[in-house]
């Protein structure tokens, strides 16, 4: 008994010494850090995570207000330099080939490695040559006019389907607009990238309708509602595993949620694998003399094979077919970007328009002038390009309510930012929310005023709706088209009543958690 007691005492002593040593080293590194900046005082193990990641939501604006445009914060032992002024980020946003700010994360980031996102696909791929290759795919397909024109048809078809369900539910129905937008954009992006239906809208309708359920067409996608939920978990998981230190993720009471996110991401990957297998089978059953469907997933699966339809996207360094693992990551990135950002953007757009009736009326007048007063008129990409004020509305909503509020970058060589020389591998947080509402660049920055993008062409150079540098969102044309088309179809047919304020939280993407509305068919066309 005495020996056991002595053993426990020794263990406690060793643990105490280790704890004191860690804390001493932590604060030695803190007090001897290069270029000390204003910022909250960090704590061992967690840094400022409890302040930055408050209530599972980023809370950066208060940092800028308290500590200025150039300040710092910590998550665990990782230091971040927060930049909240457009002048401070110009060098970082410069589109330089293989430049010093290409990477977003460290090569050994344990959180992203834990969920299998490091050095694959586009977002967190530090291998420039590999990233450039994948980027060519996205640029070739998503930015091509033919793909955008095909998507114009898909978005109209999806809206017409959704409209039938809305009309069936009736004008007394309280619609959870944020949930409808998730299903709508998921159906749209799924059919444009796979040439197959996801049937998310009809499944959601069957879930909420008090009427007779509709027959669901056969689809390669099972459990569409769970799939959409898993995409949400994937997007949130990126932030969660990147920001929260491992020790925090595994604390009692938090560890269960960590495992929940990992399980959701694993479920998503397994089901994407099933979609890939189904598409491979479809390709193999298509006669060699018959043309394959020219969707993105087919391009991923046929590159560098005898059925290659990519028109020589591959290069000398990438002469082998894509593995299923690489296809999986690319496909998940497309789905998550196409669903999450667009659906949340639509919620905030409608909220701004309903609270700014003059801007809404001017937008409706432009829609009717360009597309005509027939609410069933089928429009083209060329028609949408003429909707200049609609685009200004979208940009202004994005300026005030940035969908991606914070970008992360790190330097691969020593660089001077903000008048300070920073060692390589310094993390920079680009506070897009703060920059978009900085009084030095924007007059009355809190006021919703789309005219600032009509009257001043230079305004477009100060907005980072789709990011910047060479990592600028390759799906920007597609996203803008979808938002324009959806606003046009929504407001030429419906009057909208907001039922209370929307609820949101800010993560790696600004998310609308709840938005309840009523829809009434417009009386005048």
Give the residue extent of every domain in the chain.
33-521
User: Residue 53: its pLDDT value, please?
Assistant: 75
- Mean pLDDT in residue range 206-227: 85
Contacts of 340 (CB under 8 A, 6+ apart): 231, 232, 235, 509, 511
User: Residue 85: its pLDDT value, please?
Assistant: 94
195 in Cβ contact with 298 (< 8 Å): yes
- Mean pLDDT in residue range 396-406: 93
- Mean pLDDT in residue range 163-178: 96
User: Residue 7: its pLDDT value, please?
Assistant: 66
Environment class of 324 (CB within 10 Å of its CB; exposed 0-12, middle 13-18, buried 19+): middle
User: Residue 473: its pLDDT value, please?
Assistant: 85
The share of the chain scoring above pLDDT 90, in percent, equals 61
Please indicate whether residue 313 or residue 514 has the higher confidence score (pLDDT). Answer: 514
Please give the Cα distance from 270 to 223 (Å, whole number). Answer: 13
Task: Express each pLDDT in 321-345 by its tens digit.
Answer: 888 888 999 999 999 988 999 999 9
* pTM exceeds 0.75, yes or no: yes
User: Residue 474: its pLDDT value, please?
Assistant: 84
User: Residue 458 — very low, low, confident or very high, per pLDDT cuts 50/70/90?
Assistant: low
Task: Express each pLDDT in 433-445 by its tens digit.
Answer: 999 999 998 999 9
Task: Express each pLDDT in 48-91 by its tens digit.
Answer: 988 887 655 667 888 899 999 999 999 989 999 999 999 999 99
Task: Express each pLDDT in 124-165 by its tens digit.
Answer: 888 888 888 888 878 877 777 777 888 999 999 999 999 999
Asked whether residue 179 carries a pLDDT value surpassing 90, the answer given is: yes
The phi, psi pair for 447, rounded to 5°, reads -90, 135
**Cβ atoms < 10 Å from Cβ of 285:** 8
Q: Residue 512, annotated ligand binder?
A: no
Asked whether residue 402 carries a pLDDT value surpassing 60, the answer given is: yes
Mean pLDDT over all residues of the chain?
A: 90
Please give the Cα distance from 109 to 107 (Å, whole number). Answer: 6
- Reference 433, options 408, 468, 398, 480; nearest CA is 398
User: Residue 423 — very low, low, confident or very high, per pLDDT cuts 50/70/90?
Assistant: very high
Asked whether residue 312 carries a pLDDT value surpassing 70, the answer given is: no
Fold that domain 33-521 belongs to in CATH? Cytochrome p450 (1.10.630)
């Amino acid at each position: 008994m005495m020996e056991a007691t002595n053993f426990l005492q020794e263990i406690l002593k060793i643990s105490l010494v280790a704890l004191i040593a860690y804390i001493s080293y932590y604060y030695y590194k803190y007090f001897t850090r290069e270029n000390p900046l204003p910022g909250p005082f960090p704590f061992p193990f967690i840094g400022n995570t409890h302040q930055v990641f408050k209530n599972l939501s980023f809370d950066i604006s208060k940092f800028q207000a308290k500590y200025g445009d150039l300040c710092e914060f910590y998550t665990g032992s990782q230091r971040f330099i927060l930049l909240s002024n457009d002048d401070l980020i110009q060098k970082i946003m410069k589109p330089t080939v293989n430049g010093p700010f290409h990477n977003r994360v460290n090569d050994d980031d344990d959180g992203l490695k834990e969920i299998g996102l490091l050095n694959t696909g586009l977002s967190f791929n530090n291998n420039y040559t590999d990233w450039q290759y994948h980027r060519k795919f996205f640029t070739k397909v998503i930015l091509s006019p033919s793909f955008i024109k095909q998507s114009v048809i898909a978005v109209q078809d999806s809206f017409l389907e959704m409209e039938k369900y809305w009309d069936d539910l009736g004008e007394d129905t309280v619609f959870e607009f944020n949930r409808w937008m998730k299903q709508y954009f998921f159906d749209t992006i799924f059919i444009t990238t796979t040439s197959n239906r996801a049937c998310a809208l009809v499944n959601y309708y069957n879930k909420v309708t008090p009427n007779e359920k509709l027959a669901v067409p056969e689809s390669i996608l099972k459990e569409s509602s769970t799939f959409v939920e898993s995409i949400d978990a994937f997007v949130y998981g990126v932030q969660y595993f990147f920001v929260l230190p491992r020790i925090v993720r595994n604390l009692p009471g938090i560890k269960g949620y960590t495992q929940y996110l990992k399980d959701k991401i694993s479920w998503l990957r397994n089901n994407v694998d099933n979609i890939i297998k189904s598409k491979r089978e479809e390709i193999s059953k298509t006669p060699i003399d018959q043309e394959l469907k020219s969707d993105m997933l087919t391009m991923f699966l046929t590159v560098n094979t005898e059925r290659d339809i990519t028109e020589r996207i591959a290069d000398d360094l990438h002469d082998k077919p894509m593995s299923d693992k690489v296809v999986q990551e690319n496909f998940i990135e497309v789905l998550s970007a196409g669903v999450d950002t667009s659906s949340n953007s639509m919620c905030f757009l409608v909220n701004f328009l309903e609270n700014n009736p003059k801007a809404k009326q001017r937008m409706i007048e432009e829609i009717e002038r360009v597309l005509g007063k027939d609410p069933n008129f089928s429009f083209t990409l060329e028609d949408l390009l003429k909707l200049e004020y609609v685009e200004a509305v979208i940009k202004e909503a994005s300026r005030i309510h940035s969908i991606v509020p914070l970008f992360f970058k790190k330097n691969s060589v020593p660089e001077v930012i903000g008048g300070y020389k920073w060692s390589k591998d310094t993390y920079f947080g680009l506070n897009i929310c703060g920059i978009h509402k900085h009084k030095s660049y924007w007059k009355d920055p809190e006021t919703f005023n789309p005219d600032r993008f009509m009257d001043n062409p230079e305004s477009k150079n100060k907005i980072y709706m789709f990011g910047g540098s060479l990592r600028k969102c390759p799906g920007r044309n597609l996203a803008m088209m979808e938002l324009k088309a959806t606003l046009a179809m929504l407001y030429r047919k419906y009057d909208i009543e907001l039922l209370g304020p929307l609820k949101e939280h800010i993560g790696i993407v600004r998310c609308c958690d709840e938005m309840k509305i009523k829809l009434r068919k417009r009386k005048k066309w």
